[in-house]
Amino acid sequence: MSKECKKAYITTPIYYVNDIPHIGHAYTTIIADMLAIYSRLSGLDTFFLTGTDEHGQKIEQAAKKRGKTPKEYADEISAKFKELWDEFKITYDKFIRTTDEYHIKGVQKAFEKMYQKGDIYKGVYKGHYCIGCETFFTQTQLVDGELCPDCGRETTIVEEESYFFRLSKYQDKLLKWYKENEKCILPKTRRNEVIRFVEEGLEDLSITRTSFDWGIKLPESLNDPKHVIYVWLDALMNYLTALGYGTTEDKLDYWPARVHLIGKDILRFHAIYWPAFLMSLDMPLPKHIATHGWWTRNGEKMSKSKGNVINPKEVADAYGLDNFRYFLIREVPFGGDGDFSQRALIDRINNDLGNDLGNLLNRLIGMSSKYTNQEIDSSNVEEFYKDELEKVNEHIDNLEPLLFDMQLHRYLEELWKPLAIANKAIDKYQPWNLMKEGKTKEVEALLGLIANILAKVAIMLHPVMPTTTKKISEALNFEINKDSFKKYIKEKELLNKFTIKKIPPLFPKIEEKLMPEPQQEQKPKKEQKKKEEKSEGLITIDEFFKVDLRVGKVLEAQEVKKSKKLLLLKVDLGEERPRQIVAGIKEWYKPEDLINSYVCVVANLKPAKLMGLVSEGMLLAAKDEDGLSLIRPEKPKKEGTRIS
């Protein structure tokens, strides 16, 4: 985020009502909430939008499956999102639904404007359509000539009359925008990805459908009732219609958005289509499109059929909402993928929150009641602890730039440094000994230093942990608001007086997992568990030999089109025909360097399909922070030689 203007418009994607909210939705919304709270605290006039995306074939089908009309179904699921955000105390200013009348009007207005401008024309669309992704793909985009490059499912060929948006016309303008605005798409690697995609050439975009009905009709002036507007044009427009575009226009001065927060799956729509639509509407472009990664569970994509979907409410109920918020933001670098594990969450709560923050507060409460009658005067902090204070201020100063760059995990990392300074100061100066020496002034100053550190950290942590930091502020007797942010953060003042109140520990230690694990990894039955405990994770030689490891020779290697990770290999294992193996090693190996080289193969793995290609084995490899290296026999060995 940048800070040039006094208004800040922050948005989440609007969520499809084809499914109930899961951890991914909560992640996006919680980050947006953090940005909105920070933005308000720093004095910006903030407008935070979220909502639901309710049109399209996917929703129509989901409703039909349940014997409901699309609207009935949308009402039900949309309410679930709203309820969850309310329970999560998300501070949104507006919840938009694409079935809202003002939104429909606004979208039709925009369509009309683009049409009048000559950016929309009528033609015939013939293409490969993925129903799951609601997206048409060109032949060159497909994997294996027919599979969706995003989800790998089969596409269907659809031929229909359609209106097109002249996306190709905006190719150069888009490239100019990306190049001139280094931070328009964050993280920067995503921007490069988009630039590469656009440089390959943009085709005009089909923006209406006649094959189903559940969508916004074209504006009446076009007199073409069989078309509905493509769900992505409809959905993206929510960012403008929520501000009254095409109707009241009452909040349009919040535009352009300061940040559209999105997941990486919807980058193309936001970073290519959306700015092109905006250019066509003569509207300014958003400041930042911030793209986060994907949450998985035990390394796997979450899906209902696997029963491994994480319900955010269950996590918040079990571990505490603020703790969950902290974990989501701290655990994974923004932009990267993250794996959800209860162990990691428990470690964060016990260590970062319990040890570093909670204990510090407890120690302060304890010392203040022992040494200063729970009143702390900070007048002498600067005299005794100038170095510590300077360092604390430096760390605090580093925070805002990290937030603006969406380096949110580093924001928290940096925020923990003042806590480390405070904890260290107690150990170094040992107030109990100072007391013995009669240095009461120094003790009070030390407590003043710690209380001030806790207060400043609480203010800056407030956007991440709003409830917990309120409790800290109550224990220290100060307020977290715009004024205290200005005084104690921006102007680096110290709070002069504290009246300390005893409160129960904020982060009681968590000893064991508080939620059941998904079915497939539930704990084994008692007897088996005992057996397993005995062997402490060791396996027998028979168990080892169940894995059929063989030497193989690579005969052919080529890239899997549209895949960043995969290579397609033909590997000779001394069998009748070579095996086809799809390996995720493209980042580290060129196909030509692999040909005729030897590899180690797991030969009795069940065949699996990757990007529509059957893989009949797996290569052994070792990966560390320097990259990946294949495991190979030291000398060439006959193809198919067993490895033991």
Beta strand 288-292 with 259-263 is parallel
* Among 51, 187, 219, 263, contact with ligand ME8 (rule: CB under 6 A): 263
DSSP 227-273: -EE-HHHHHHTHHHHTTTTTTT-TTGGGPSPSEEEEEGGGHHIIIII
Task: Give the residue with the Cβ less far from ligand ME8, 239 or 371.
Answer: 239
Q: How many residues bind ligand ME8 (CB under 6 A)?
A: 19
Residue 538 CB, nearest approach to ligand ME8 (Å) = 35
> Is 25 a residue that touches ligand ME8 (CB under 6 A)?
yes
Beta strand 228-229 with 7-16 is unpaired
Task: Give the residue with the Cβ less far from ligand ME8, 32 or 476.
Answer: 32
Smallest CA-to-CA distance from 148 within 160, 132, 126 is with 132
* Among 15, 137, 429, 488, contact with ligand ME8 (rule: CB under 6 A): 15
Stretch that binds ligand ME8, among 59-67, 235-243, 339-347, 413-421 (CB under 6 A): 235-243
Stretch that binds ligand ME8, among 19-27, 58-66, 188-196, 409-417 (CB under 6 A): 19-27
Cα 486 from Cα 284, distance rounded (Å): 30
Q: Give the residue carrying structure tokens 């994607």.
A: 13
- 339, 345 in Cβ contact below 8 A? no
Residue 15 CB, nearest approach to ligand ME8 (Å) = 4
Smallest CA-to-CA distance from 347 within 513, 537, 517, 461 is with 513
Cα 464 from Cα 458, distance rounded (Å): 10
Site map for ligand ME8, 284-303, x if CB under 6 A? ----------xx------x-
Written as six digits, the tokens of 384 are 């005794």
Q: Helix (H, G, I), strand (E, B), or coil: what is residue 138? A: coil
Residue 17 CB, nearest approach to ligand ME8 (Å) = 8
Stretch that binds ligand ME8, among 63-71, 125-133, 231-239, 620-628 (CB under 6 A): 231-239
- 459, 476 in Cβ contact below 8 A? no
* Among 8, 10, 13, 615, contact with ligand ME8 (rule: CB under 6 A): 13
Cα 566 from Cα 557, distance rounded (Å): 11
* Among 266, 503, 515, 605, contact with ligand ME8 (rule: CB under 6 A): 266
Task: Give the residue with the Cβ less far from ligand ME8, 152 or 640.
Answer: 152
Task: Give the residue with the Cβ less far from ligand ME8, 85 or 507.
Answer: 85
Cα 634 from Cα 313, distance rounded (Å): 52
Mutual angle of helices 386-404 and 440-461, in 10-degree steps: 0
Name which of residues 299 to 338 contact ligand ME8 (CB under 6 A). 302
Name which of residues 49 to 88 contact ligand ME8 (CB under 6 A). 53
Stretch that binds ligand ME8, among 69-77, 259-267, 371-379, 526-534 (CB under 6 A): 259-267
* Among 1, 8, 9, 24, contact with ligand ME8 (rule: CB under 6 A): 24
Q: Give the residue carrying structure tokens 């008692």.
A: 526
The helix or strand, by DSSP H or E, that contains position 382, with its residue range, turns out to be helix 381-384
Interacting residues toward ligand ME8 by CB under 6 A: 13-16, 24-25, 27-28, 53, 235-236, 238, 262-263, 265-266, 294-295, 302
